[in-house]
Amino acid sequence: MRDAFIAELTKLAAADTDRVLITGDLGFGVLTKFWETYPDQFINAGVAEQNMTAIACGMALEGFKCYTYSIANFTTLRCLEHIRNDVCYHDADVTVVSVGGGFSYGQLGVSHFATEDIAILRAIPNMKVIAPTDPWEAAELTAQMAAVPGPKYLRLDKGKAGLPEKRDDVVFGKGRTIADGRDITLLATGAILSEALEASERLRETGYSVRVVALHTLKPVDEDIIVTAARETGGLVTVEEHTICGGLGSIVAEVCMKHGVMPGFLKFVGLDDVFPTVVGDQDYLRAAYGLNADAVVAAALKALGHEGRTPSKQVGGAP
């Protein structure tokens, strides 16, 4: 996703010299073409993410459109006060770009895991939160976000959902119904949508009618698509590579309560309220902490009361 983001930002920079990329001494190789092509629109702030954020805010207040770039924890938690007090309080046009959402940097341990960022960033006024599911979607959202003023958080994942490219279906602030169904809805954000898609296929093989909803924009979230799923299907399961405290599951619950909608059930598949201590690649950690397709299927079947139940006839299907 980071390559797709940089490719799109390079196009934007060509058309607008006020667009500036600021890195915290990261991205060598990935960012090389950008800084060689647009040296006056690139700053390496060094391993000083708080300064990086302050520089971006100051430039934004002078009319520039700035992007800060580093590993997820470093662009967010390390400089959270600067994001809150400088960028968001002043509603500055700064896009905080994190690479390595969730367990993307799994071999480097908890200091490099980004599993609380959505909950924290979405709580700050003026901040928009975006978590694409595929590289092509990341590129499309980067282009659309360029027209959205103010603070933004772009959470990029190492993985990909593997959906066919349909850029016309991607709209900032709107969710996408990937497959239709009546028995259950799986809602996912980020590249872990791939696990939800695999789980949906396995649930269909069991005879269940499964709706799959992808939510790339978490703030502002598409409330209509959530409420419709709660009303039209038997229940909801949220899937996220993030803690269940304040993430996608919490967002869905908040939306349902706001609109007075009571789903048949609401189950969260995400990281429990723990610090992960295991290291390994992204797939290994998803399995270790119950965030993979097996966990989604198990949660869905338990919620559906699978034993002794007659599933509905399948409606719709995967892309």
Maximal CA-CA distance, the chain: 66
Q: What are 215's two structure tokens?
A: 């939510």
φ/ψ of 268, rounded to 5, equals: -110, 125
Within a domain: 21: yes
DSSP 26-94: --TTTSHHHHHH-GGGEEE--S-HHHHHHHHHHHHHTT-EEEEEEEHHHHTGGGHHHIIIIIITTT--E
Q: In the numeric block, which tokens belong to residue 29?
A: 């190789």
Question: Looking at the structure, do residues 69 and 46 belong to the same domain, yes or no?
Answer: yes
Whether residue 128 is found in the same domain as residue 257: no
Q: Which domain holds residue 193?
A: 168-303
Name the residue type at position 1: M
Per the domain annotation, does 319 fall within a domain? no
Residue written as token pair 């993979």: 292
173, 126: one domain = no
Q: Is 286 a domain residue?
A: yes
Please tell me the total count of domains within the chain.
2
The whole-number pLDDT of residue 27 equals 80
Residues 109 and 180 in one domain: no
| Geometric angle at alpha carbon 299, from 298 and 302, rounded to 5° | 85
| 313 part of a folded domain | no
Q: Determine, yes or no, domain membership for 318.
A: no
Q: Is 132 in the same domain as 16?
A: yes
In a shared domain, residues 23 and 122: yes
**CATH, residue 233:** 3.40.50.920
Is 271 a member of any domain?
A: yes
Q: Are residues 138 and 176 in the same domain?
A: no
Residue 99 and residue 10 share a domain: yes
Asked whether residue 245 falls in the same domain as residue 225, the answer is yes
One domain for residues 22 and 148: yes
Indicate if 13 and 141 belong to the same structural domain. Answer: yes
Residue 309 maps to a domain: no
Q: Which of 97, 125, 156 is the last residue of a domain?
A: 156
User: Omega before 220 cis (within 30°)?
Assistant: yes
Q: What is the CATH number of the domain that holds 130?
A: 3.40.50.970
E strand or H helix that includes residue 145: helix 135-145
Written as tens digits, the pLDDT of the chain (319 aa) is: 999 999 999 999 999 999 999 999 988 889 999 999 999 999 999 999 999 999 999 999 999 999 999 999 999 999 999 999 999 999 999 999 999 999 999 889 899 999 999 999 999 999 999 999 999 999 999 999 999 999 999 999 988 999 999 999 999 999 999 999 999 999 999 999 999 999 999 999 999 999 999 999 999 999 999 999 999 999 999 999 999 999 999 999 999 999 999 999 999 999 999 999 999 999 999 999 999 999 999 999 999 997 434 444 443 333 3
**Whether 137 and 175 share a structural domain:** no
Tally Cβ neighbours within 10 Å of residue 276.
17
Tokens describing residue 140: 């499309």
Is residue 132 included in any domain, yes or no? yes
* Positive or negative: CA dihedral 63, 64, 65, 68: negative
The kind and range of the H/E element at 213 are: strand 210-214
- Tokens representing 105 are 């940097």
